[in-house]
Amino acid sequence: MLLTSAVVDWFEWQAGYASGCLLMPESFMRRAVEAYFRGRKEQPPVAKGSPEVSALCQRISLAFDVSVDAATVRLKQLGHLTE
């Protein structure tokens, strides 16, 4: 039973990662992040507690029509956000 649950978790992770890549391609994300930070003092990667994080995640969420949580995960995967 434990082996089966690990496989299901792995499949779920793969599906989630692939979906994020499909909905938010790296090149488009890079351009969106660059556009957001153009002319701002703070530059990526930004720390999780930064006031810019919430606004950036919201903007990415709206731009790519995904949830704020999905946008946050993808930004972390691409190295635009730090823990």
pTM attached to this predicted model: 0.80
Q: What angle do CA 81, 17, 36 make, to 5 degrees?
A: 35
Range of the domain at 29: 2-82
Residue-wise pLDDT for 12-71, tens only, equals 888 888 888 888 999 999 999 999 999 888 888 888 777 888 889 999 999 999 999 999
Taking the C-alpha atoms of 51, 55, 61 and 62 in order, what is their torsion angle to the nearest 10 degrees?
A: 180
How many structural domains is the chain composed of?
1
How would residue 2 be classed by pLDDT, with cut points 50, 70 and 90?
very low
